[in-house]
Amino acid sequence: MSASAAELRTDVPLALLYGDAEVLKERAVQALVEDRLDESEREYGLIRLDANETAVEGIVAELNSGSLMAPRRVIVVRDITALHNLQQRALARHLGQIPPGLALVLVAAKQEGGHSWGPPVAAELRRAVEGQGQVLELRPPASLPGWAASEAQRFGKRLDPDAAAVLCDTVGSDLDRLLREIEKLTSYVGEREEITAQDVREVSVRVTEEDIFELMDAIGHKDAGTALTLLDGVLPEGSDRGEYIPFVGMIARQIRLIWQARFLRQCGVPLSEIQSLPDDLKRLLPEHHNFPDATAGRKSWLAEKFTRQAAMFSDGQLARALDAVHQADLMLKGRGRMAERAVIELLIARLCR
């Protein structure tokens, strides 16, 4: 099942945890251990194994062994998918009767090539765990900006909404990378409590807003050659998947803002009145990534750029562009077999039609 940490059961002797976010799996393991063992019991009662280094016989031996020093034990086996199917089936046969006081936590490694549809283990092992425990997929939360803000609070920092939105657009849904970026930002701002969108742009954004403006200019002129040349400048060959996904997020954000600029232009709103829109127009704009917020204060020059680009696209073109971006995002996150670079080049070609 897909779940959050709030749905984690600690009252069962078996658990299989899987998903792409190592931070979520690690916190689930920590919650299981803390619920089962007092801190004083963990020296002898907590056994950590790695399936890359421990054969199935070693895991079974730990299951069957006891300790006078630890009447309650938790065995955590990481990277259970390192065992091939026959070994996983052999382990499943030993899970029919877990000794009292023992809990076994199996953790699957992140699967290469994108999201796995179901637990990445042998069916027999999955059924054995389900019979006495819980199989849990830990996915990113529905609100990434909200999660990012709460993580910043762990470091004693406040991530303002605009900063959270820019950060999530930049990093995408990779929670492990998102957490690393928050740690970097925490160090960057030092004693200052608030992390701003400008901080994010200075620390986390490799592709600049100006790069995206130039690219959208080329796309607006249907100049695929120039667009691909610009792409080579910001995402050279050999860039990793973690850079392509944020790039697509920034393109999506730009298209949404161009569309809002077009809408306000059609409503007859002059640039001088963007920051004082009537309530009936404000309600029609998104709560986050909205045009007034994106162009407020010292960023008012952006309003002119977005408005100029809005004149280059029709509503139909912008709708098709967002659909193309959505399809590219799905392919980059594992729902296709095309190489990452080819996905981005195809996206540029579609946007330039």
Pairing of strands 133-138, 194-195: unpaired
| 226, two tokens | 């120039």
User: Which one of 177, 203, 229 terminates a domain?
Assistant: 203
Contact between 299 and 293 under an 8 Å Cβ cutoff? The reply is: no
- Lowest-pLDDT range, 256-270, 283-297, 313-327? 283-297
For the chain, how many structural domains are there in total? 3
| 344, two tokens | 């981005």
**pLDDT for position 1:** 37
Contact between 256 and 289 under an 8 Å Cβ cutoff? The reply is: yes
Q: Is the pLDDT of residue 300 over 70?
A: no
**pLDDT for position 3:** 45
- Lowest-pLDDT range, 100-109, 138-147, 282-291? 282-291
Quickly state the pLDDT bin for 71 (edges 50, 70, 90): confident
Residue 86's nearest CA partner among 112, 119, 123, 49 is: 123
For position 302, which CATH number holds? Answer: 1.20.272.10
* pLDDT cut 90: percent of the chain above it: 39
> Is the domain of 233 the same as that of 324?
yes
User: Which one of 90, 122, 138 terminates a domain?
Assistant: 138
> Is the domain of 218 the same as that of 199?
no
> Is the domain of 262 the same as that of 297?
yes
Q: Rounded to the nearest 5°, which phi and psi values hold at 118?
A: 110, 170
Residue 47 β-bridge partners: 75
Enumerate residues 6+ apart whose C-beta is below 8 A from 304: 271
User: Which one of 186, 203, 220 terminates a domain?
Assistant: 203
pLDDT per residue as tens digits for the range 190-237: 999 999 988 888 787 666 667 888 888 888 888 889 988 888 877 777
In angstroms, the CA 94 to CA 303 distance is 65
- Lowest-pLDDT range, 14-28, 239-253, 268-282? 239-253
The predicted model gives 24-30 an average pLDDT of: 94
Q: Is the pLDDT of residue 136 over 80?
A: yes
> Is the domain of 11 the same as that of 87?
yes
Quickly state the pLDDT bin for 159 (edges 50, 70, 90): very high
Looking at every residue in the chain, the average pLDDT score rounds to 85
> Is the domain of 190 the same as that of 223?
no
> Is the domain of 84 the same as that of 116?
yes
**pLDDT for position 116:** 52
Quickly state the pLDDT bin for 298 (edges 50, 70, 90): low
For position 199, which CATH number holds? Answer: 1.10.8.60
Q: Is the pLDDT of residue 6 over 70?
A: no
Quickly state the pLDDT bin for 109 (edges 50, 70, 90): confident
Give the residue numbers spanning the domain of 311: 209-351
> Is the domain of 102 the same as that of 180?
no
In angstroms, the CA 36 to CA 47 distance is 13
The predicted model gives 112-117 an average pLDDT of: 52
The predicted model gives 238-254 an average pLDDT of: 77
* pLDDT cut 70: percent of the chain above it: 90
For position 31, which CATH number holds? Answer: 3.40.50.300
> Is the domain of 165 the same as that of 100?
no
User: Three-state SS string across the chain, please?
Assistant: CEECHHHCCCCCCEEEEECCCHHHHHHHHHHHHHHHCCHHHHHHHEEEEECCCCCHHHHHHHHHCCCCCCCCEEEEEECHHHCCHHHHHHHHCCCCCCCCCEEEEEECCCCCCCCCCCCCCCHHHHHHHHHHEEEEEECCCCCHHHHHHHHHHHCCCEECHHHHHHHHHHHCCCHHHHHHHHHHHHHHHCCCCEECHHHHHHHCCCCCHHHHHHHHHHHHCCCHHHHHHHHHHHCCCCCCHHHHHHHHHHHHHHHHHHHHHHHHHHCCCCHHHHHHCCHHHHCCCCCCCCHHHHCCHHHCHHHHHHHHHHCCCCHHHHHHHHHHHHHHHHHHHHHCCCCHHHHHHHHHHHHCC
> Is the domain of 219 the same as that of 199?
no
- Lowest-pLDDT range, 22-31, 60-69, 147-156, 331-340? 331-340
Contact between 246 and 171 under an 8 Å Cβ cutoff? The reply is: yes
Q: How many CB atoms lie within 10 A of CB 185?
A: 23
Instruction: Report the amino acid identity of residue 283.
Output: R
> Is the domain of 125 the same as that of 244?
no
Residue 106 β-bridge partners: 16, 77
In angstroms, the CA 45 to CA 267 distance is 67
Q: Is the pLDDT of residue 268 over 60?
A: yes
> Is the domain of 71 the same as that of 152?
no
pLDDT per residue as tens digits for the range 115-127: 456 788 999 999 9
The predicted model gives 58-73 an average pLDDT of: 83
Contact between 33 and 124 under an 8 Å Cβ cutoff? The reply is: no
**pLDDT for position 262:** 93
> Is the domain of 150 the same as that of 186?
yes
- Residue 303's Cβ-count burial label (10 Å; 0-12, 13-18, 19+) is buried
